[in-house]
Amino acid sequence: MKKILAVIFASVSLVACNNSTQTMADQNAKFDAYKANFIEGLWKLNPGWASSAGYHKYDSVLVVPDEASRAAQIAFCNANLDSLKDFDINALSDNNKTDHRMIENQLKATEWGIKDGKAYEWDPSGYNVAEGFANMLNNDYDSLDNRLHNFYLRLAFVPAYYEAAKKNIKNPTTEHTQLAIDQNLGGTSVFEKDLQDALQKSGLDVQEKEAITARAKEAADAMKGFAEWLRQLKNEDPRSFRLGKALYEKKFDYEIQSGYTAEQIFDKAVQHKNELHEKMYGITQQLWPKYFGGKAMPSDKLVAIKQMIDTLSINHVQPDSFQAAIEKQIPELEAFIKEKDLIYLDPSKPLVVRKEPEYMAGVAGASINAPGPYDKNGNTYYNVGSLSGWPKDKAESYLREYNDYILQILNIHEAIPGHYTQLIYANQSPSIIKSILGNNAMIEGWAVYAERMMLENGYSGGASGQASPEMWLMYYKWNLRSTCNTILDYSVHVKNMSKKDALNMLVNEAFQQQAEAEGKWKRVSVTQVQLCCYFTGYTEIYDLREEMKKKLGDKFNLKQFHKKFLSYGSAPVKYIKELMEQESK
Ligand code: ZN
Ligand code: ZN
């Protein structure tokens, strides 16, 4: 009897084994079909989001943000959360596993936003139609006449949109109310000016032009009416712009998708700030005689560091060679990475450096311009801004910020091996889910991690093979910015930090200019959690690397680690970590 059972078991497990390969193929094929379905549903429900992702099938529709639209969102979330349960996550490929979790997170986050977060009640700045319409005029995805036709159909929804907004708003915060007033009044120029310019260039006949102009006027009136309504809104005890601990922690979980809680990340950031200060003070002591001779060093550590930073910031390029300086560094970064064998760079995909296009003019610095998920063959550009035409003192202050040291770190972050390199790898395991729902903490965290990794390996040190103390000091200052972003965000929203204390920290502990600090305060009073993504992602990636080093000992190889890490695409670091740990077992 025992023997028979054993035979039966053996054959069962044999069948199970054959089945499981089959099941995996089935499950993955089924999941791919599910994803296509999910995305189509997502776009239908969110035509504005679809349009900005380059999917224009629903351009003629503007969703009126009423009770019915929220019910439709909830129904979509429930139906899809149900569908997701049908898949055995262990049977999915790594790419599908992470897609599965990212979709699930997106659905739960949406549901949470409607039921608990309720920003549609207290944040009036969430209501603004200008950007969607502006994109239809500025982006060249279809003929102008076709775009204008959809523009016209979409305009019909605007008055109802603002009526619904007024019904939704309850006890809004003062900060978001003011922002909504400013942005809606500013946004009317799309209908009053940009549209007229577009109509002149179009082939529409006079009647069509008149019809669209009449509707555009109604839309602009609705925007102004909304701003005026907000201005007169009786709101004697406005809600605080501070999110509070309970909502903040949840929002952090959904948006950052970290392996740490918000509180753990905050504690880590505070500790990191103190460590950075100690390191910076050590370098300041070391460099002091070189730059200040016999002059006594201030007894306050932070004051001494600040004087050293100010002195080093004088080393910067001239305004007219700003672009050239950035362009010159790209091949240097590539050569260094090859020489040190840090990461594989695909030679068939060189970065196209270009002067920033006309429509972006006035934005200095550098940024990556990547093609969207529906424009796979488009080029990736490195837009480099020019300072031409800037007033002298504004240019000088900007160049001190982006001095010879920081400019190199900026290039590492934005281009190689930062955002640009990460993007190339992400495109190798194509996932439309990850290009739509890509995790910002992973994306920004990688770029911030890359900065430190390059200096650790001696970038900028030339023949000495080591980055100079000056370079490290400036790097630490740069790193303090993302560290203090996290401290600021958590302190303000959870710990009730005052504006005075916030500015004091940014200016005296993170060594920022007063104007920069004021801007940061403005940002933290109308956003939540977003400012944490840089430090959180960086910390998780760095910790993962150190953990792998320990585990693998002599067998650890930095290039392999980078290749493996990036191969999972823009997924949250905690999932990448899980998969890498499994693999290394
Ligand atoms: Zn200067
Ligand atoms: Zn970045």
Strand partners, 384: 355, 366
In 3-state terms, what secondary structure has residue 171?
Answer: coil
Scan for tokens 């972003």, then name that residue.
Answer: 485
Instruction: Kindly identify the ligand whose nearest atom is closest to the C-alpha of 481.
Output: 2
Taking only the tens place, the pLDDT of each residue in 301-330 is 999 999 999 999 999 999 888 888 988 999
* Helix ranges (DSSP H) in 341-438: 392-401, 404-414, 419-428, 432-437
pLDDT recorded at residue 358: 64
* Token digits of residue 350: 């060189």
pLDDT recorded at residue 19: 61
Task: Tell me the average pLDDT across 178-202.
Answer: 95
Taking only the tens place, the pLDDT of each residue in 344-374 is 988 887 788 888 776 665 555 788 888 778 8
Taking only the tens place, the pLDDT of each residue in 254-306 is 999 999 999 999 999 999 999 999 999 999 999 999 999 999 999 999 999 99
Residue 202 confidence (pLDDT) above 90: yes
Distance between CA atoms of 422 and 430, rounded to whole angstroms?
13
Scan for tokens 């002091």, then name that residue.
Answer: 288
Q: How many CB atoms lie within 10 A of CB 21?
A: 10
320 CA distance to ligand 1 centroid (A)?
A: 13
Instruction: Kindly identify the ligand whose nearest atom is closest to the C-alpha of 310.
Output: 1
Q: Give the DSSP H/E element, type plus range, for residue 369.
A: strand 366-369
Task: Tell me the average pLDDT across 141-149.
Answer: 95
17 CA distance to ligand 1 centroid (A)?
A: 70
Buried b (16+ CB within 10 A) or exposed e, 332-354: ebbebbeeeebbbbeeeeebebe
Q: How many CB atoms lie within 10 A of CB 19?
A: 11
Contacts 24+ apart (CB under 8 A), 342-348: 342/417, 342/453, 342/454, 342/457, 342/558, 342/559, 342/562, 343/417, 343/421, 343/559, 343/562, 343/563, 344/559, 344/563, 345/416, 345/417, 345/421, 345/424, 346/424
Scan for tokens 């969110």, then name that residue.
Answer: 46
Task: Tell me the average pLDDT across 330-355.
Answer: 89
74 CA distance to ligand 1 centroid (A)?
A: 56
102 CA distance to ligand 2 centroid (A)?
A: 21
537 CA distance to ligand 2 centroid (A)?
A: 11
pLDDT recorded at residue 220: 98
Instruction: Kindly identify the ligand whose nearest atom is closest to the C-alpha of 537.
Output: 2
pLDDT band at 486 (very low <50, low <70, confident <90, very high): very high
Taking only the tens place, the pLDDT of each residue in 437-446 is 999 999 999 9
Burial degree of 463 (CB within 10 A; 0-12, 13-18, 19+): exposed
371 CA distance to ligand 2 centroid (A)?
A: 16
Instruction: Kindly identify the ligand whose nearest atom is closest to the C-alpha of 533.
Output: 2
Residue 143 confidence (pLDDT) above 80: yes
pLDDT band at 21 (very low <50, low <70, confident <90, very high): confident
pLDDT recorded at residue 380: 83
209 CA distance to ligand 2 centroid (A)?
A: 42
Residue 141 confidence (pLDDT) above 80: yes
pLDDT band at 170 (very low <50, low <70, confident <90, very high): very high
pLDDT band at 7 (very low <50, low <70, confident <90, very high): very low
pLDDT recorded at residue 11: 43
321 CA distance to ligand 1 centroid (A)?
A: 13
pLDDT recorded at residue 1: 42
Instruction: Kindly identify the ligand whose nearest atom is closest to the C-alpha of 448.
Output: 2
pLDDT band at 5 (very low <50, low <70, confident <90, very high): very low
Instruction: Kindly identify the ligand whose nearest atom is closest to the C-alpha of 423.
Output: 2
Domain locations in the chain?
2-45+66-122, 127-241, 255-584
Instruction: Kindly identify the ligand whose nearest atom is closest to the C-alpha of 312.
Output: 1
Buried b (16+ CB within 10 A) or exposed e, 298-313: eeeeeebbbbbbeebb
Q: Are 415 and 343 in contact (CB under 8 A)?
A: no
316 CA distance to ligand 1 centroid (A)?
A: 6
403 CA distance to ligand 1 centroid (A)?
A: 9
First to last CA, the chain: 38
> Which residue has better confidence, 114 or 22?
114
- The one-letter code for the residue type at 540 is E
21 CA distance to ligand 2 centroid (A)?
A: 40
413 CA distance to ligand 2 centroid (A)?
A: 6
402 CA distance to ligand 2 centroid (A)?
A: 15
24 CA distance to ligand 2 centroid (A)?
A: 37
475 CA distance to ligand 1 centroid (A)?
A: 19
367 CA distance to ligand 2 centroid (A)?
A: 8
Task: Tell me the average pLDDT across 474-480.
Answer: 98
Taking only the tens place, the pLDDT of each residue in 491-531 is 999 999 999 999 999 999 999 988 889 999 999 999 999 99
Instruction: Kindly identify the ligand whose nearest atom is closest to the C-alpha of 315.
Output: 1
72 CA distance to ligand 1 centroid (A)?
A: 57
Instruction: Kindly identify the ligand whose nearest atom is closest to the C-alpha of 397.
Output: 1
> Hey, CA dihedral for 165, 240, 500, 491, is it positive or negative?
negative
Distance between CA atoms of 545 and 542, rounded to whole angstroms?
5
